[in-house]
Amino acid sequence: MGVALLGFISIFTLVQYFAAARMAMGLAGGIRIDKDSHPRLWRTVENLALSEGMPMPKVYIIPDESINAMAIGRDPAHAHVGATEGLLKITEKYELEGVMAHEMAHIKNYDTRVKLIVFGLVGAVSALAQFCWLFIFGIFGSSRGGEQRNRGVFLSILMFPLGVILFFVGIVAWLISSIIGPLVMNGVSRQREYLADATGALMTRHPEALMSALNKIELFSQAPVRKNKATAGMYFSNPFRRGLFARLFSSHPTTDDRIDRLAEMSQDFF
């Protein structure tokens, strides 16, 4: 039983590893673009890729009025980056460059691979939990009449030990996918956001650009139309509303903390 469950999680995670980038962009509603349809965003990403000697990622527009961006992919050769329509409307050229440099930094530092693996694992465990609940409901929750009902009662008694095991497996899988997994993922994500800010600032040699973009996002951003906790850590800034309690479970550090660190970096290195 344990081997079968481990095999299920391994196969599901492997499939997710290769398909999750497109799935994440699909959850965000991303629309792939080229240099002719959206030259401003395309050229910004292209210039950053050329300056860093990185492969050109697939570029997306996210039809959302919130001010945000995201990056995902298992390695630089299979990377996807996206920016919301709200980000393109409100940012100046240097601010957009700062934000996209941050996203390219995630790709360069292989943060996107880590997030992709965690995304796949959490998805696999969540699918396992759902499978357990559906199996238990199918065996013990169905109602039949006559002879079929008698057979159903016999089958329920026969499958009772397996049902008990799956019940506890489902509870553990739910705890991991809903509470433990996101907590671990968000803790790692917060630290990698600081690193991506620093790496992106080194790419552009202009940390003030990223600081200015962060200020605008803090002042004018709104919650995205398509909210999904599984992809929250892939965005440039926290796509959910931020309160005192929510900060403990946030995938991103506070904007003030990020700006303070960039200000220190600007004084020390530029």
For residue 101, pLDDT over 90 is answered with yes
Q: What is the mean pLDDT of residues 211-230?
A: 72
How far apart CA 175 and CA 154 sit, in angstroms, is: 32
- The catalytic position among 46, 52, 92, 103 is 103
Max CA-CA distance within the chain? 82
Looking at the DSSP assignment, which residues form a beta bridge with residue 81?
A: 59, 71
For residue 5, pLDDT over 80 is answered with no
CB < 8 Å & 24+ apart, contacts of 225-231: 225/29, 225/64, 225/65, 225/66, 226/27, 226/28, 226/29, 226/64, 228/27, 228/28, 229/182, 230/24, 230/27, 230/119, 230/122, 230/123, 231/24, 231/27, 231/28, 231/70, 231/72, 231/119
Residue 146 confidence (pLDDT): 47
Q: Which two tokens stand for residue 212?
A: 């200015």
State the SS3 of 147-209. HHHHHHHHHHHHHHHHHHHHHHHHHHHHHHHHHHHHHHHHHHHHHHHHHHHHHHHHHHCCHHH
SS3 label, residue 241: coil
42, 97 contact by CB (below 8 A): no
Q: What is the mean pLDDT of residues 213-242?
A: 68
Displacement of CA 25 from its chain's centroid (Å): 9
Q: Which domains does the chain have, with CATH numbers?
A: 2-114+182-269 (3.30.2010.10)
Q: What is the mean pLDDT of residues 67-78?
A: 89
- Mean pLDDT for all residues in the chain: 79
Q: Which residue has the higher pLDDT, 98 or 223?
A: 98
Confidence band of 3 (pLDDT split at 50, 70, 90):
low
Confidence band of 62 (pLDDT split at 50, 70, 90):
very high
For residue 40, pLDDT over 80 is answered with yes
144, 154 contact by CB (below 8 A): no
Burial 209-225 (b: 16+ CB within 10 A, else e): bbbbbbebbbeebeebe
Q: Which residue has the higher pLDDT, 69 or 190?
A: 69
Residue 139 confidence (pLDDT): 59
Residue 235 confidence (pLDDT): 74
Looking at the DSSP assignment, which residues form a beta bridge with residue 69?
A: 83
Tell me: the pLDDT tens digits for 244-256? 445 556 778 888 8
Residue 76 confidence (pLDDT): 92
Task: Confirm whether 147 is a catalytic residue.
Answer: no
Confidence band of 103 (pLDDT split at 50, 70, 90):
very high
For residue 221, pLDDT over 50 is answered with yes
Residue 8 confidence (pLDDT): 62
- For β-strands 79-84 and 58-62, DSSP reports them as parallel
